[in-house]
A = this chain, B = another copy of it.
Amino acid sequence: MAERRQLHLGAFMRPVSIHTGAWRYPGAWPDANFNFPRLVRLVQTLERGKFDAFFMADHLALLNMPIESLRRSHTVTSFDPLTLLPALAAVTERIGLIATASTTYNDPYHVARKFASLDHISNGRAGWNLVTTANPDAALNFGHDEHMAHGERYKRAREFYDVVTGLWDSFADDAFIRDVESGIFWDPARMHVLNHKGPELSVRGPLNVARPVQGWPVIVQAGASEAGRQIGAETAEMIFAAGGPIADAQAFYADVKGRAAKAGRNPDHLKILPGALVVVGDTDEEARAKRAHLDSLVHYESAIGSLSSILGVDARAFDPDAPLPEIPETEASKSGRERAINLGRRENLTVRELAQRIGGYAGAAIVGTPATIADTMEEWLEGRACDGFNVMFPYVPGGLDEFVDRVVPELQRRGLFRREYEGTTLREHLGLPRPENRFFPRQARAAE
């Protein structure tokens, strides 16, 4: 059993859940967004479940949805991840802590310094989810009239990565001597001044923080576009992938790992974890009923707006309690439209049910008993569709507790998931090497 491929589990969370109806679910915590004790309870439960990491999204503006939907959404506000995660680091000991930070609306010196600080505070548990920010409204909060174009954003992101990792390497791991006798605190010969002057960024350095415990915090990415896949293959150590049919996931997995190999990297040092909403029940039927109940809590007014926009037609005209009528070709994205139509047919959903499903959470889901869920996870892992999952809970704390108390033991029983943390750092949990300092390489070990 010890030889089995091991699952990695991240928890991708909005405090109240990623599902827009979750705050209305019985037993949910509608006030979790700014209630720190509740968040402590969540992360400590994840640590009890031996999760590799808690993974936090970020938004630099209100979500850009119609106000009619927005006023019904608990996702309108959120903590700054780089302020929340240090606080959660202080109340946990092992779980990794991944914060999202934009390369478009930040200075690399701040980003390098904050993640380095988090890595020291957490004793090596920090990860940086590098994003370029998709919401164009963010630009207006940062002194710009319009959002930077996609290509431009990725160009800056790539250079930003070089600068931040270069700043983390400002000091050799052994730069701080602290020799009380001689009075020498550190050795200037073991400090590197970056002096970066690139097309997008100009940063002198050095960083005024000692090299992070992990060398570098773990680099995480989620881009699915061509540019996103390429930068991920070149630089990411964990990729938050989309779910979808297993064949699509296998193709994505093979593509990105292949690109990594082509870039001269060991593909095992890049872990691919698709996101999945996991709903647990005593029976598969009960789990589906829970999901249906959750979806039913999405207000029809906002749900039908989401469905209309995916279909490219005004779905308000349809009978909410009848199946979806024939939909003509429209200007809307073909794949999204077809996915919605097929979902309605396959599960025999009414217009209302389909709208609420899509308005609640449109991404991949695994719904069933602990055994059904473990079967799916095992199939994906063995089938080289993933290296694990970024799990989303349908409501908290209930959905989280069910996963930790029922699904995790089933995965452990099958030998697919750790029973105890073996290392102390996020890199160790994920099986990633500690990067060498590019300016102060160690002597080659072979020469010793």
Contact = CB atoms under 8 A, between A and B. Distances in A.
A376 interface: no
Interface in A176-205: 176, 178, 180, 183-188, 201-205
A30 B178 contact: yes
B70 A188 contact: yes
Interface string A54-84: 0000011110000100111110111110111
A422 to B, nearest CB: 22
Contacts of A90: 36, 40, 86-88, 90-91
A84 B117 contact: yes
Contacts of A440: none
Given A83-B117, A83-B121, A84-B117, A142 B109 contact: yes
A106 B109 CA distance: 11
Interface in A126-152: 137, 140-143
Contacts of A209: 34, 77-80
A143 B201 contact: yes
Interface string A90-125: 110000000000000111011001100110110100
A79 B121 contact: yes
Report copies per complex: 2
B185 A80 contact: no
Contact of A87 (B67, B86, B107, B208): B86
**Centre residue among A59, A113, A141, A178 by max chain B CB count within 10 A:** A141
A206 interface: yes
A141 B207 CA distance: 9
Nearest to A79: B117
A210 interface: yes
Contact of A123 (B36, B76, B107, B299): B36
A141 B205 contact: yes
Contacts of A137: 204
A33 interface: yes
Nearest to A206: B62
A371 interface: no
A105 to B, nearest CB: 7
A208 B121 contact: no
Interface in A408-434: none
Top-6 shortest CB links A-B: A83-B117, A90-B90, A140-B204, A86-B87, A30-B178, A87-B90
29 contacts: A24-B183, A30-B178, A30-B180, A34-B120, A34-B210, A36-B121, A40-B90, A62-B208, A70-B188, A71-B187, A71-B188, A72-B184, A74-B178, A74-B185, A78-B208, A78-B209, A80-B113, A80-B114, A80-B117, A82-B82, A82-B83, A83-B86, A83-B117, A86-B87, A87-B90, A90-B91, A110-B110, A137-B204, A143-B202
